[in-house]
Amino acid sequence: MSEGTNYTPSQQAVIAQQGNNLLVSASAGSGKTTVLIERIMRKILAGTNIDQLLVVTFTNLAAKHMKQKLESQINKRISQLMTDNPAQTTASPAIRQLRQQLNLLGVANISTLDAFCLRVIQRYYYVIDLDPVFFAY
């Protein structure tokens, strides 16, 4: 787990949950973003590319904030790897994989549910026989 972070038992249970799909619902300021960032980082460190995940938030601001926090955590992990093992070069597999995640962050599915659905409709409009110039309100 992230250094210096004290998780509650409930948060630890969510972080440790091994399923593919998980709903995290809690009040504002309860640490949802921190818990989700930890889960995402664990997936990344286990070899999952960030663009293979779907992370849904309620607001555009929350999605933007989550991407910024992920970028920060990935950069922090790269720095940590290089500090812990000075012989580790930027060409090491672990650092290359983390840098790839930074590149994929811009296309990662981290958004509101309505923004995700709109992207799916825009991409596959022809499957549902929808006019490609439809309007979403």
Q: Where are the domains of the chain?
A: 9-112
pLDDT in tens, 1-32: 555 578 888 788 778 877 767 777 777 777 78
The answer to whether residues 17 and 24 touch, using CB atoms and an 8 Å cutoff, is no
% of the chain with per-residue pLDDT over 90: 47
So what's the pLDDT on residue 20? 67
Return the exposure string of 26-60: e unless at least 16 CB atoms fall within 10 Å of the residue's CB, then b.
Answer: eeeeebbbbbbbbbbbebbeeeeebbebebbbeee
Known binder of ligand: residue 4?
no
Known binder of ligand: residue 31?
yes
Known binder of ligand: residue 26?
yes
Known binder of ligand: residue 27?
yes
CATH homologous superfamily of 9-112 equals: P-loop containing nucleotide triphosphate hydrolases (3.40.50.300)
How far, rounded to the nearest angstrom, does the alpha carbon of residue 63 sit from its chain's CA centroid?
Answer: 9
So what's the pLDDT on residue 91? 74
Single-letter code of the amino acid located at 33 = T
> Is residue 86 very low, low, confident or very high in pLDDT (cuts 50, 70, 90)?
confident
- Answer whether 0.85 is exceeded by the pTM: no
Residue 112 has pLDDT above 80, yes or no: yes
